[in-house]
Amino acid sequence: MKTYSSNSIMKKLSFLIMALCVVTLFQGCERTVSQNKLRLVFIGGTPDNYWSVVWLGCDFAARELKDVDLDFRYLETGTPAAQQELLDALDTNGVDGIAISPIDPQTQTDFLDKIAGNTLLVCADSDATNSQRRCYIGTDNVAAGAQAAELLKAALPQGGKIVLFVGYAGAQNTKDRIEGITRGLAGSNIQIIDTLLDGSASSIAQKNAEEALTKYPDLAGMACLNGYQGPAVLTAVRQAGKAGQVKIVCFENYNETLAGIASGDIYGTIVQNALKMGYQTILSMDKYLHGDKTQFAGGKILIPSKAITKANLEEYQAVLKNQLLQTEAKNP
């Protein structure tokens, strides 16, 4: 029987993801799509651990269903302009459904409605509530924000000043997480004194953290609402010699984030089930397009998130190991 360390788990997943990337690149060249297959497009974010696992979940569903031609697209940069450019260039002829994580839904609503008028449109990871999308599939981000608030209160039982790190303030998942954190901290002695935007750039997130540590010498905590910010903020805190002193709560399961939890330099993180999100999106779109209209009857399919601290880190890593074993079984 094989055994895996926590590092080897993520390395194995990364290797499998890279292999799938190569396969997709070759399949993307002059592909011939069977007329009996549904063509489903998923527009994710920039290539990183999180979106790669979402892609893996989509791929699992497509392989299992055997009647889906999956076209997963990454963004060159995580900006609304890059997403719009990709959408503008996308040939929707013959596309049966599109899943997208809108970066700035307020400015994208008209365009999303245009897509929804021509094909099935669902939102995954982040919603566009005012659009004509058929369904949202992903985390209940208000609940996830509330989970982050509980971690902050546990990390700072005496209270203190904290700052929030945000990629794009207009993204619905960001708004929902802030709402959940704000509600969860109500009545506590924890005070949000600043919200720092980085435009989905880890280098800017690190710079924001460095400047915050200087500007607010009595800063007690940092809350990172996007996955890439955790490692960036951790680097800044360590360089300032304040690791463990300034409490960090973040999102996602980046390698550096989990290692930071193990070392005690990060208090905890909120992890989404990216694999299930990708899998459920393709599975539900397939069923809906084959006549099961109950799939999107409620308008939302919510996937629970989980709070990870040093106390349950090993348990969570065992879950990752199980996911690895499943991927090996499905991709011999």
- Tens digits of residue pLDDT in 215-225: 999 999 999 99
Whether 11 shows a pLDDT value over 60: the answer reads no
CA distance 321 to 298: 33
Instruction: Say if CB 171 and CB 197 are below 8 A apart.
Output: no
Whether 153 shows a pLDDT value over 90: the answer reads yes
* Confidence label for 32 from pLDDT (cuts 50, 70 and 90): very low
Average pLDDT over every residue of 182-207: 97
pLDDT value for 92: 78
> What is the chain's mean pLDDT, rounded?
88
Average pLDDT over every residue of 8-14: 51
Name the residue among 85, 97, 15, 93 with its Cα closest to residue 56: 15
CA distance 55 to 116: 22
* Confidence label for 265 from pLDDT (cuts 50, 70 and 90): very high
Instruction: Select the highest-mean-pLDDT range: 27-31, 79-83, 198-202, 281-285.
Output: 281-285
Whether 31 shows a pLDDT value over 80: the answer reads no
User: 135-139 and 120-124: which strand pairing?
Assistant: parallel
Q: Which residues contact 178 (CB under 8 A, 6 or more apart)?
A: 145, 164, 166, 195, 225
Whether 283 shows a pLDDT value over 70: the answer reads yes
Name the residue among 216, 214, 249 with its Cα closest to residue 233: 249
Name the residue among 102, 101, 105 with its Cα closest to residue 278: 101
In CATH, the number for domain 141-271 is: 3.40.50.2300
Instruction: Select the highest-mean-pLDDT range: 11-25, 97-111, 232-246.
Output: 232-246
Superfamily name and number for 6-139+273-305+312-330: Response regulator (3.40.50.2300)
Whether 236 shows a pLDDT value over 80: the answer reads yes
Domain ranges of the chain: 6-139+273-305+312-330, 141-271
Name the residue among 99, 46, 50 with its Cα closest to residue 74: 46
CA distance 45 to 133: 18
* Confidence label for 4 from pLDDT (cuts 50, 70 and 90): very low
Whether 33 shows a pLDDT value over 80: the answer reads no
pLDDT value for 297: 94
Q: Which residues contact 259 (CB under 8 A, 6 or more apart)?
A: none
Average pLDDT over every residue of 250-276: 96
Chain centroid to Cα 193, Å, comes to 25
Instruction: Give the C-alpha distances (Å, rounded to integers) separating 4 from 8, 19, 313.
Output: 6, 20, 15
Percent of the chain at pLDDT > 70 equals: 87
CA distance 191 to 198: 21
CA distance 313 to 321: 12
Whether 156 shows a pLDDT value over 90: the answer reads yes
In this chain, the answer to whether the domains covering 6-139+273-305+312-330 and 141-271 adopt an identical fold is yes
Give the DSSP letter of residue 3: -
pLDDT value for 46: 86
Percent of the chain at pLDDT > 90 equals: 74
β-strand partners of 160: 190
* Confidence label for 49 from pLDDT (cuts 50, 70 and 90): confident
Six-digit token string for 294: 């109950």
pLDDT value for 22: 42
pLDDT value for 29: 34
Spell out the long-range contacts of 201-205 with Cβ–Cβ below 8 A and sequence spacing 24 or more: 201/78, 202/228, 202/229, 202/231, 202/232, 203/232, 205/165, 205/229, 205/232, 205/233
pLDDT value for 231: 98
> What string of DSSP letters covers 98-121?
EEE--SSHHHHHHHHHHHHTTSEE
Whether 264 shows a pLDDT value over 90: the answer reads yes
